[in-house]
Amino acid sequence: MASIKPDRTVVYKTVGSLQIPMDIFLPKNVRNAPVILWFHGGGLLQGCRDSIAPYQRDGVQKYGYVCISADYRLAPQVSVGEVFEDVKDCIRFIRNNLSCLLGEGLVDASRLAVSGSSAGGFLTLLAGLYIDPKPHVIIPIYPITDPLGTFFNKSQPAPNGRYSASEEEMAVHLDVNAPPIANSGKAPEDPRSNMYVYMLRTATLAQLWGVAGNEDDVAPYRISRRIHEYGLPPTYLLHGDADTAVGVEQSDEVAGAILGCGGTLEYERPHGEDHFLDKEDDYQNDKLYNFVMRYL
């Protein structure tokens, strides 16, 4: 993957001594640019903001938007509800502070799209459901949509031969009393990068998110079941039908609910494509951006 450097990095939230940053990528010679906010994947258990795909960064100049890639606190040291508090605070910061931070007239922070990959796609869908006012458009990319869905309720093999760590190896990262962190490193240097595969093997997503065993606790996070009540803004959904890290039925259920409620949806479901289908340097998706810019 090509090296990608942000134009600015700022802290949008501080919790105790923990600072939570965002990277900002700016278009050249553009005034009143809209914002696309992106959240990384990793099951809410691992990952960091610098995993943003090249096409998302390249689109800043091609389409003239401000791109923001934000970290958030990771489970199980915080619950999924606390992670979503970070999302809400991030969006609040963008709407209230970004124009002043970047200079008058450069950005129109009221024109907001939210996107994210995998668990970041899940956070994107939460933002589409519950943020008020809603984003103009959302782009969930091979998203998790239901921690109690069939895929996450049964043991899954390690995708693409990735390492499957033991509980003993993951013990320090499974400790709910350990200090929270807002990003993690990459394999093989950082053992926490094995958390997602551990979760798949042990079928413990809801447990690690802190919502297992109580339907009232988990209900807000079963996306397709909330769309009728809360609605979603226009949605571009991308999910390969051969995904081994998040079963495509997770997106199928959400797509069905959106259409059943009369929502606006473009569902791209490429045949034979796995997780990370958009991560190569040469990946482009004009269809996605044409949809998104229509609503920004």
Nearest to 60 by CA among 23, 97, 100: 23
Q: Do the domain assignments include residue 3?
A: no
What's the alpha-carbon Rg for the chain, to the nearest Å? 18
How many residues in total does the chain contain?
296
pLDDT at 1: 43
Other Cβ atoms less than 10 A from the Cβ of 282: the count is 6
pLDDT at 53: 95
Q: What is the mean pLDDT of each run of 10 residues along the chain (296 residues)?
A: 79 98 96 98 97 95 97 98 98 97 95 98 98 98 98 95 92 97 85 96 98 93 98 98 98 98 98 97 97 97
pTM of the model: 0.97
The interaxial angle of helices 54-63 and 286-295, nearest 10 deg, is 50
Q: Do the domain assignments include residue 95?
A: yes
pLDDT at 3: 58
Distance of CA 295 to the CA centre of its chain: 20
3-state class of 108 per DSSP? strand
3-state class of 246 per DSSP? coil
Q: Where are the beta strands (DSSP E) in the chain?
A: 8-15, 18-25, 33-39, 66-70, 107-117, 137-141, 235-238, 265-268
Report whether 137 contacts 118 (CB < 8 A): no
Nearest to 142 by CA among 155, 160, 124: 124
Q: Do the domain assignments include residue 1?
A: no
Residue 166 burial class via C-beta count within 10 angstroms: exposed 0-12, middle 13-18, buried 19 and up: exposed
pLDDT at 111: 98
Q: What is the CATH number of the domain that holds 205?
A: 3.40.50.1820
Label residues 227-243 b or e (16+ Cβ within 10 Å = b): beeeebbbbbbbbbeeb
Q: Do the domain assignments include residue 158?
A: yes
Q: Do the domain assignments include residue 2?
A: no
How is residue 122 written in tokens? 């899940």
Structural domain tally of the chain? 1
Q: Where are the alpha helices (DSSP H) in 103-154?
A: 119-130, 150-153
| Domain of residue 128, residue span | 8-295
